[in-house]
Amino acid sequence: MPPDHAQSDDDEISGTRQQTDAEQLVRENAGWMLVLAQRMLNDPALAEDVVQEALLNALKGLERFEKKSSLKTWLHRITVNAALSKLRKRKRLAEQSIEELLPEFDRYDCRIERPWTHFASVQELTENAETRAHVSDSIRSLPDPYRIVLQLRDIEGYDTGETAQLLEISEANVKVRLHRARAALKKILEPIFRGEEHL
């Protein structure tokens, strides 16, 4: 076989192998990447765009993947960055008020809350699919700047420094937003934890 045909066959085999690797990467990771993007964006159509963009970026950068972390960790970071980039472009990370969701305090700085007459057990709360759905909905109801910090820190497991770097804000700002997001979420969920609200 002439040399140019041999080179052509090698290129074809290499191209087929790369296509198979790309298909496998998409097949094995697109599902969890979509779930992650949906949690961050609260918009299924936008999440699909982000996953497509993240997968394209990953495939383009696969040769540069240094294997300092697992492939899934690397893809997770690419997906988070793509979602944050999309939020920034849509200006959804602009400062939004969370004041109406925060607990109230009296003149002595004590939290004002109704007395608890019933405490739902952890088992009652975790076994109830409706409760889990309500918690997810409550998280989605938080203003984006607070929800994203809560998502990155408490759900995705990023530390304060990593979260600050991803969001391009100070660590102090991350801590304030996280505290306020947790306080607002607690207030929203208290009726369920008290057993007053049945889903």
**Is the CB of residue 147 less than 8 Å from the CB of residue 181?**
yes
**Is the CB of residue 46 less than 8 Å from the CB of residue 86?**
yes
- Mean pLDDT for 69-73 is 86
Phi, psi of 106 (to 5 degrees): -85, -175
d(CA 187, CA 104): 10
pLDDT of 74 higher than 50 = yes
Neighbours of 192 (CB within 10 A): 20
pLDDT of 162 higher than 90 = yes
- Mean pLDDT for 133-154 is 90
- Mean pLDDT for 172-190 is 91
Tokens of 30: 């697109």
Residue 177 domain-assigned (yes or no): yes
Q: Of 89, 115, 150, at which residue does a domain stop?
A: 89
> Residue 115: what pLDDT?
62
d(CA 43, CA 55): 18
Q: What is the per-residue DSSP string for 20-78?
A: HHHHHHHHHHHHHHHHHHHHHHS-HHHHHHHHHHHHHHHHHHGGG---SS-HHHHHHHH
Co-location of 116 and 189 in the same domain = yes
Model-wide pTM > 0.75: no
Give the C-alpha distances (Å, rounded to integers) separating 133 from 150, 188, 199.
17, 13, 10
**Structural domain total, the chain:** 2
Q: Of 89, 112, 127, at which residue does a domain stop?
A: 89
Domain CATH number, residue 174 = 1.10.10.10
Co-location of 76 and 112 in the same domain = no
**Is the CB of residue 80 less than 8 Å from the CB of residue 34?**
no
d(CA 189, CA 93): 24
Domain membership of residue 32 as a residue range: 3-89
Residue 134 domain-assigned (yes or no): yes
Residue 169 domain-assigned (yes or no): yes
Domain CATH number, residue 7 = 1.10.1740.10
Residue 52 domain-assigned (yes or no): yes
Per-residue confidence at 14, pLDDT binned at 50, 70, 90? very low
Q: Of 26, 61, 89, at which residue does a domain stop?
A: 89
Residue 94 domain-assigned (yes or no): no
Residue 199 domain-assigned (yes or no): no
Q: What is the per-residue DSSP string for 120-176?
A: --HHHHHH-HHHHHHHHHHHHHS-HHHHHHHIIIIIS---HHHHHHHHTS-HHHHHH
